């Protein structure tokens, strides 16, 4: 897990009130990461694209930060979101790019 200050308040509440649920979520995420040939950078870029697609600002922040930590460049992160324009539409991409500015 990232530093405490980076964990959104709503997730901290889940950690505090539902620790077993949070632990299982973390174990499932780790199993998915370890269970295939994609490296961490590509995995977080994929999750970033999914986050942008569902318009989840917190998840865009989280996966952009994690993609950077895994070695993605700012240009790769922006490109991953720009590629979505013809799939999820310009407004969703514009919002995700704005959220990326908070991180990169």
Per-residue pLDDT tens for 44-79? 999 999 999 999 999 999 999 999 999 999 999 999
Taking the model in full, what pTM does it have? 0.83
Closest among 94, 95, 90, 82 to 49, alpha carbons compared? 82
Please give the helix or strand (H or E) that residue 48 lies within, else none: helix 40-53
Beta carbons within 8 Å of 64's beta carbon, 6+ residues apart: 48, 77, 99, 100, 103, 104
Helix (H/G/I), strand (E/B), else coil: 1: coil
- Give the pLDDT score at 49: 97
- Give the pLDDT score at 4: 46
């Amino acid at each position: 897990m990232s530093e405490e200050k980076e964990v959104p308040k709503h997730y901290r509440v889940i950690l505090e009130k539902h620790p077993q649920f949070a632990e299982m979520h973390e174990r499932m995420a780790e199993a998915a990461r370890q269970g295939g040939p994609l490296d961490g950078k590509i995995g977080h870029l994929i999750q970033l694209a999914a986050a942008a697609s569902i318009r989840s600002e917190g998840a865009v922040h989280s996966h952009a930060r994690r993609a950077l930590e895994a070695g993605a460049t700012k240009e790769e992160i922006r490109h991953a979101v720009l590629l979505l324009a013809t799939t999820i539409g310009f407004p969703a991409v514009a919002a995700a790019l704005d959220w990326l500015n908070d991180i990169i």
